[in-house]
A and B are shown apart, each in its own frame.
Chain A
Amino acid sequence: AQTVTQSQPEMSVQEAETVTLSCTYDTSENNYYLFWYKQPPSRQMILVIRQEAYKQQNATENRFSVNFQKAAKSFSLKISDSQLGDTAMYFCAFMRGFGNEKLTFGTGTRLTIIP
């Protein structure tokens, strides 16, 4: 079974600063996908970024980027130039490959951006 660990229950950072959220996972699979989801106070879960395990290049989406270390089973999210709208719960999630679309989530990190 897969497990996903987020060791930072809460974080806060000043607006415009950079923040990194940590995530580690455990799996025996070689083909899988990793995701960061954002859940703002409105509760609608939104995909932030995804990474295919077979790709060595780290994924980037505008101000969001990941540091994917496959050997260490680590998948951290970096948010640059943080904005007030980034305030949310952030969940790291794992999905096995081969068309199995079930997601296994971590426990989440509550991020607060301070004006």
Chain B
Amino acid sequence: DVKVTQSSRYLVKRTGEKVFLECVQDMDHENMFWYRQDPGLGLRLIYFSYDVKMKEKGDIPEGYSVSREKKERFSLILESASTNQTSMYLCASSPRGTGLGNTIYFGEGSWLTVV
């Protein structure tokens, strides 16, 4: 079974802290994504990556950065956490070029609270 693992399920951080959210997939997928989920807003794309060391901004990249040094790992970075970044963060991965949503796999999510 494909597995997308988000290392932290629940985090509480202070305003101004640097936060790392880690995501690892075990299926050699080229594509990886970070989404943010908020009530009433659905899922919104923060950043995505089509290959190692490649990244592209999604719909809401402000306040975030990403790192993809290895194919299996995609990290989301909050340089200086703020309370409006309190949210659920979902990582996903998929192989390249399929164009079919049944090959997009999601992690279980990371609940981040910034106080």
Contact = CB atoms under 8 A, between A and B. Distances in A.
Interface residues of B, number: 26
B101 A98 contact: no
A99 B95 CA distance: 10
A102 B48 contact: yes
Q: Which of B31, B43, B98, B108 has the most CB of A within 10 A?
A: B43
Contact of A95 (B90, B96, B99): B99
Contacts of A91: 42-43
A21 B104 CA distance: 22
A101 B99 contact: yes
A93 to B, nearest CB: 7
A6 to B, nearest CB: 8
Interface in A86-115: 91, 93, 95, 97-108
B101 A107 contact: no
Given A33-B99, A50-B101, A95-B99, A102 B33 contact: yes
Contact of A101 (B41, B88, B94): B94
Contacts of B100: 33, 50
B43 A33 contact: no
A55 interface: no
A99 B99 CA distance: 4
Interface residues of A, number: 26
Contacts of A95: 99, 101
Contacts of B45: 102-104
Nearest to B90: A45
Given A50-B102, A95-B101, A101-B104, 13 more contacts: A42-B108, A50-B100, A91-B42, A91-B43, A97-B99, A99-B96, A99-B99, A101-B98, A101-B101, A102-B45, A104-B45, A105-B44, A107-B42
6 contacts: A45-B92, A101-B96, A101-B98, A101-B99, A102-B33, A106-B42
Interface of A: 4, 6, 9, 33, 35, 42-45, 47, 50, 91, 93, 95, 97-108
Interface of B: 31, 33, 35, 40-45, 48, 58, 88, 90, 92, 94, 96-102, 104, 106, 108-109
